[in-house]
Structure 1
Amino acid sequence: MTPRPFSIIYTTFNEADVIERSLASVEGWSDDLQIVDSFSTDGTAELLAGRPDVRLVQRPYSGPSDQKNWAIARARHEWILLLDADELVTPELREEVDALRSVPDLQDAYWIRRTNFFMGRRIRYSGWRNDRVVRFFHRDRARYNDRQVHEEIEVAGLRVGQLNGRLEHYTFKNLDHFLDKTRRYARWKAADAADRTPRINLFHLLVKPGFRFFNQYVLKGGFLDGREGLVICYVLAYGVFLRYAYLLAERRNLRA
């Protein structure tokens, strides 16, 4: 059969320093490469506007799931590969997707594993060992949930397969970026946790961060990733502390 056409989607904000590398990994692959930009201020939109292979749209940002679902509904083709600007498609994954496009009966969506890099080093443990995401899926069957942090395709009721090829994920540009993202995610997670956390106590501020560090660094082998693993596990534990510290501060401010 003729290989199915498919769309490639990115959502971006201030990705000028990484987006071209990701685009190079999918160059010439799809006739519908859509990028939804949230009014970047670093020149991302200007950079992309000069590319004839990109269909650029700018749209205000209200959340990651809303932005992605909006783009999914406007894809020209039924099948979609959705990527982040800090992800690279490996040649093995590209070949596997091409082969899949000629299979008569596909699943509704497919998990893709990611190889993560931090501070110039591949991270094999630290809770990232089994990192995988649903990124190749049918436009009319898959949508993202409404989480503000770590949004995912809802797989309940879907037939979901697993691909062997991987994405390379350069998740944090530097330590400042990691810390900034941790703070931002902590604020968003505080909002998500508000309804199910009536009181904040030492369990939330001390035990939960401590267990997160122990889980990531010891149980999930963060110590095997050396100094980089220690940094990752410590910052992730700090993010748990911040989540409840932000929630506590917000509630105190409302009472003042």
Structure 2
Amino acid sequence: MAHVPISVVIPCFNEEDNIGECLESVAWADEILVVDSFSTDRTLEIAGRYTNRIFQREYQSHADQLNWAIPQASHEWVLVVDSDERVPGSLAKEIRGLDLANNKVDGYWIRRSNHLFGKKIRFSGWGRDRVLRLFRRDIGRKEDKRVHAEFQVPKSGCLKGAILHYPIPNIETWVVKINRYTTWKAMDKVEKSSPRALLHLFFRPPIRFFKDSVLRLGILDGWRGILIAAMSAFAEMVMSAKMFEFQQKNKRK
């Protein structure tokens, strides 16, 4: 089986606490590209120890950043890894063992093992997380959404291994992420439809808490599961309030 080189693409911004371990986990790759959104911490210094292919580009959205970065890769196959993720040795071995030169798929879905405050989350809506991250450079592109956009390819397969994901180091970071993502999500929703924001504000937060804690068995994740449900409900409330705010601004134009 012929060796097919793989390029790894990592988007980042102020990730000095994560970028080193992330890059270490993909040191086996034939090429590593880091796409930075003008970090002000030591992110670039640390990244420079692993690769000289570092780009800086103004951030518009995750999809926009990656859709620009992917064509910069030198090799036909690309693996996208976020800075708060790690590629364990077992997954790296599985990827290296693929017959990429002769297969008929354009990309692979990879399970994502989500961890919160030192423990793997098995339920709460986080347990069945899959992401399409390994794909042909000239085919895989992210859909045009500001948040939670997925890569799209015509034909895909699934890998057995999992990416390790450590998205939330502390509550403060969690709240900051919620504030950022709810703004983007509210903008997407208001631009594409006319949601009833006030109804969402009253009903979606409690429904989301019940869904994550009970229907998605979050209670089996203990206090972490209850916290996930509570923060998800909070995010629904903030997003609905922002949707209402954007709608009122649009009416005044």
> What's the TM-score once normalised by structure 2's chain length?
0.94
Shift of 1:3: 1.0
- Structure 1 position 221 matched with structure 2 position 217: yes
2:6–2:76 CA contact under 8 A, matched in 1: yes
2:189–2:195 CA contact under 8 A, matched in 1: no
Shift of 1:39: 0.2
Shift of 1:252: 3.3
Q: Percent identity?
A: 41
Render the CA deviation track for 1:146-170: whole Å, top value 9, x for unaligned.
1111111024xx1110000111100
More displaced 10-residue stretch of structure 1: 146-155 or 100-109 = 100-109
Q: 2:61 aligns with which of 60, 63, 67?
A: 63
The residue matched to 1:57 in structure 2 has which SS?
strand
> What's the TM-score once normalised by structure 1's chain length?
0.93
More displaced 10-residue stretch of structure 1: 98-107 or 236-245 = 98-107
Partner of 1:245: 241
Gaps of 5+ in 2: none
TM alignment of 1:57-206, pairs within 5 A? 57-101=55-99, 104-155=102-153, 158-194=154-190, 195-201=192-198, 203-206=199-202
Aligned equivalents of 2:216 and 2:196: distance in 1?
Answer: 29
Partner of 1:46: 45
- Structure 1 position 31 matched with structure 2 position 10: no
Letter in 2 for 1:141: I
Shift of 1:199: 3.6
2:19–2:46 CA contact under 8 A, matched in 1: no
The residue matched to 2:16 in structure 1 has which SS?
coil
1:32–1:54 CA contact under 8 A, matched in 2: no
Shift of 1:206: 1.7
Shift of 1:2: 1.8
Aligned equivalents of 1:242 and 1:75: distance in 2?
Answer: 38
Aligned equivalents of 1:40 and 1:53: distance in 2?
Answer: 16
Aligned equivalents of 2:50 and 2:155: distance in 1?
Answer: 35
Shift of 1:103: 5.7
Aligned equivalents of 2:164 and 2:226: distance in 1?
Answer: 21
- Structure 1 position 2 matched with structure 2 position 2: yes
Shift of 1:251: 3.2
Aligned equivalents of 1:160 and 1:151: distance in 2?
Answer: 17
Aligned equivalents of 1:97 and 1:200: distance in 2?
Answer: 44
1:31–1:53 CA contact under 8 A, matched in 2: no
Aligned equivalents of 2:122 and 2:196: distance in 1?
Answer: 36
Shift of 1:178: 1.0
Partner of 1:17: 17
Letter in 2 for 1:23: L
Aligned equivalents of 1:52 and 1:222: distance in 2?
Answer: 38
**Coordinate RMSD, CA, aligned:** 1.6
Shift of 1:122: 1.0
Gaps of 5+ in 1: none
2:187–2:246 CA contact under 8 A, matched in 1: no
